[in-house]
Homo-oligomer: A and B are copies of this chain.
Amino acid sequence: MDVQALINNISQRMPEQRFKHVLRVTETAVKLAEKHRISTKDAETASLFHDIAKFMDKEKLRTVIVNEHLDITLLSFHHELWHGPVGAIIAQKEFDIENEDVLNAIRFHTTGRAGMSKLEKLIYVSDMIEPGRNFPGVEQLRAKSLDNLDQTMKACIYHSVNFLLSKKVPVYPDSIHCYNEHFRN
């Protein structure tokens, strides 16, 4: 499937507003990939796919998690976390994406994890700082992202975990493993 066909396919799986977000993440990721010498092709593919499962029916998401033997504990966390791992399954099974790094970037874009690759960090960061995002500190993150991807990831995972704490909601263990890795002395 060529890129335009993929874009058309993805656009039909989500509301227009969300699709525009996907395009902004893709633009951000490709720009940062050039800057940090990461494959722009992989950045584009992972970005386009990252939210492919976001508007799937909740019960369907649950079914995929069970049938594909994804981490079953996901089901006891907020369903907002489910679309990353399920999106990777869809990219793999429906679109024949085989690049494990691309699949992991889709899989972990919402939670992070310990031992993220450069591409995984790129997608996590791009999702958080794309031009449509607006929260205190986002401008500093955008500036930092041009300079140091790992330090930006560190700031992003801190922001995410801190946000969850402030909302008094559970933190998926992969996110804490990611935080711990970055804040280890």
Q: Hey, which bits of chain A sit against chain B, CB under 8 A? A: 76, 158, 161-162, 165, 168-171, 173, 176-177, 179-180, 183-185
Instruction: Jot down 20 A-B pairs with beta carbons below 8 A, ordered by A.
Output: A76-B184, A158-B165, A158-B168, A161-B165, A162-B165, A165-B165, A168-B183, A169-B183, A169-B185, A170-B179, A170-B180, A170-B183, A170-B184, A171-B176, A171-B179, A171-B180, A173-B173, A173-B176, A173-B177, A176-B176
Docked pose: A183 CA to B167 CA in angstroms: 10
Closest 5 CB pairs of A and B: A170-B180, A176-B176, A168-B183, A170-B183, A171-B176
What residues of B have a CB within 8 angstroms of the CB of A76 in the complex? Answer: 184
Docked pose: A185 CA to B170 CA in angstroms: 9
Docked pose: A179 CA to B167 CA in angstroms: 13
What residues of B have a CB within 8 angstroms of the CB of A170 in the complex? Answer: 179-180, 183-184
Docked pose: A139 CA to B180 CA in angstroms: 31
Docked pose: A177 CA to B176 CA in angstroms: 10
What residues of B have a CB within 8 angstroms of the CB of A158 in the complex? Answer: 165, 168
What residues of B have a CB within 8 angstroms of the CB of A171 in the complex? Answer: 176, 179-180
Docked pose: A165 CA to B162 CA in angstroms: 7
What residues of B have a CB within 8 angstroms of the CB of A185 in the complex? Answer: 169
Measured between C-beta atoms, what is the minimum distance from A45 to chain B in Å? 32
Further pairs besides A76-B184, A173-B176: 12, Cβ < 8 Å: A158-B168, A161-B165, A162-B165, A169-B183, A169-B185, A170-B179, A171-B176, A171-B179, A171-B180, A173-B173, A173-B177, A176-B176
